[in-house]
Chain A
Amino acid sequence: MKPSDAFSDRATVEALVSRAREQASRLDRPVTFMEVCGTHTHAIAAAGLRRLLPQKVRLISGPGCPVCVTPVDYLDRAEALAALPDVIVCTFGDLVRVPSSCGSLEQARARGCDVRIVYSPRDALAIAREHPSKRIVFLAVGFETTLPTVAAALAEAESEGIATFQILPGGKLIEPPLRALVTDGDVQIDGFLLPGHVSVIIGSNAYTFLAEEFRVPGAVVGFTPADILLGVSELVQQVLERAPRVANLYTRVVRPEGNRHAQELIARFFEPVDTRWRGLGEIPGSGLGVRATWAHRDASTIEVAVPEPREPGGCRCGEVLKGVIEPPQCPLFDRGCTPDAPLGACMVSSEGTCAAWYRHERFGAGAAA
């Protein structure tokens, strides 16, 4: 067996499930754990883990899909920029289908705007090299995993003197929403499955505040079924022992101090700013804006007319993102809002909670309780 298979191996998964069941039988109350990373949400749904877990353990999804938490006015601004004749908007694919106030980037492209899907900020830079007479605006959404790649592209643009490369800042930090969630009171969270690849950058030490300030357990985990089940087991154990801590179960790539090169690049180009999250509202210091030194790289300084933000009526993405409701409780879920024709952001990205439920858990939702 290849090592990579061992993490998804049936016998391993069964053993981990039975261990979690044994541990959970010793709990004196049901517990709720939140996974905050969209890639975890997708992995949990695709592997059907929710149905394998002990009855006393409930997994809910948090605001960790960057596409889902991007507010509608960001998309409106991106569309307005795309409508400018000399602008090429470059973006990760998921963002083009998210409904904006008057359509979507996909629809803007159908109208003739130059909107290009790229895999990497480097690809956007390559487009800037090919089209020196155009202004290239890269839609820089993402968490700490993605933001260093944007910073690296900015550094490259600076060193090569590519003046036409700009970004529309939409980056988000993970710590402020975690703080907002544990102090929110709308939902009781007994532990967090912490995002593996954000942690590669910020390091496992970045979460010690959860245990120290709030006495909330945490586990940094990878993305295979075995990784996630190990994390659940660890969280149950911390609850049983009443000993909250941050366990790093993804040591093969996550170091306690994180990736210093990446942290330095982020700090060189960005600074924390107050920003709005779809569903969570404005959270102080939770976004990354471009530092004033690099204002020439900041496409949010370009003046464009942006419409009054409008969200689809009845969409409960906000409550889904906080784990207050599960997707089937939204009146639009599978009734007008589907991955093929999404109304809300959570249905667009494959990492969105609604999309993950629609694809993998729609028919077994009752059994998951």
Chain B
Amino acid sequence: MCLAIPMQLIERSEWDGTAELRGVQRQVSLMLCPEAQVGEYVLVHAGYAITTVDVEEARKTLELLDEIVREDIPE
């Protein structure tokens, strides 16, 4: 039930926004995440954006994973 998916906010007016994932659009409420800007990714749960996705932090995690993969390749 705590499933939430990252979608891109493509439009907003006041508390309502339109978010998109792979061409599928959905109306989302921004009441829990008023700071979200158009173009940003938001995590959507039960019709509400619950946070913005920090792209820089996501990149750091991917780099960490990359590092682990490289370490694992036998020399």
Count, chain B residues at interface, CB 8 A: 34
Interface of A, helix, strand, loop or mixed by DSSP: helix
B24 proximal to A (CB < 8 A)? no
Of A10-18, A25-33, A285-293, the one with at least 4 CB within 8 A of chain B = A10-18
CB–CB B62/A120 < 8 A: no
B47 proximal to A (CB < 8 A)? yes
Bound form: Cα–Cα A145–B45 in Å: 8
Q: Which of B10-66 contact A (CB under 8 A)?
A: 29, 31-34, 43, 45-48, 50-51, 53-55, 57-62, 64-66
Q: Which of A136-159 contact B (CB under 8 A)?
A: 141-143, 145-146, 148-149, 152, 155-156
CB proximity of A70 to chain B, nearest CB, Å: 11
CB–CB B32/A265 < 8 A: yes
Bound form: Cα–Cα A251–B61 in Å: 8
Count, chain A residues at interface, CB 8 A: 53
User: Most chain-B Cβ atoms within 10 A of its Cβ — which of A143, A149, A252?
Assistant: A252
A334 proximal to B (CB < 8 A)? no
Bound form: Cα–Cα A211–B34 in Å: 33
Interface of B, helix, strand, loop or mixed by DSSP: mixed
Q: Which residues of B contact A253 (CB under 8 A)?
A: 6, 43, 51, 53-54
Q: Which residues of B contact A119 (CB under 8 A)?
A: 46-47
Q: Which residues of B contact A123 (CB under 8 A)?
A: 47
User: A6-B62, A149-B32, A259-B33 are known contacts. Are A121 and B1 too (CB-CB below 8 A)?
Assistant: no
User: A11-B69, A200-B4 are known contacts. Are A155 and B47 too (CB-CB below 8 A)?
Assistant: no
B75 proximal to A (CB < 8 A)? no
Q: Which residues of B contact A37 (CB under 8 A)?
A: 2
CB–CB B61/A262 < 8 A: no
CB–CB B51/A15 < 8 A: no
Q: Which residues of A contact B34 (CB under 8 A)?
A: 261
Footprint of B on A, CB under 8 Å? 3, 6-7, 11-12, 14-16, 18-19, 37-39, 64-67, 92, 94, 119-123, 141-143, 145-146, 148-149, 152, 155-156, 195-198, 200-201, 226, 230, 249, 251-253, 255, 259, 261-262, 265, 349, 351
Additional 9 contacts, C-beta under 8 A, given A3-B59, A120-B47: A3-B58, A66-B1, A142-B2, A143-B2, A149-B47, A197-B2, A251-B54, A253-B43, A261-B31
Please name 16 pairs of A and B residues whose Cβ atoms are closer than 8 Å in the assembled complex, sorted by A: A12-B69, A15-B72, A15-B73, A65-B1, A66-B2, A67-B1, A119-B46, A120-B48, A122-B47, A143-B2, A156-B31, A197-B4, A200-B43, A253-B43, A259-B32, A262-B50
6 closest A-B pairs by beta carbon, nearest first, are A120-B47, A15-B72, A252-B58, A251-B57, A145-B2, A197-B2
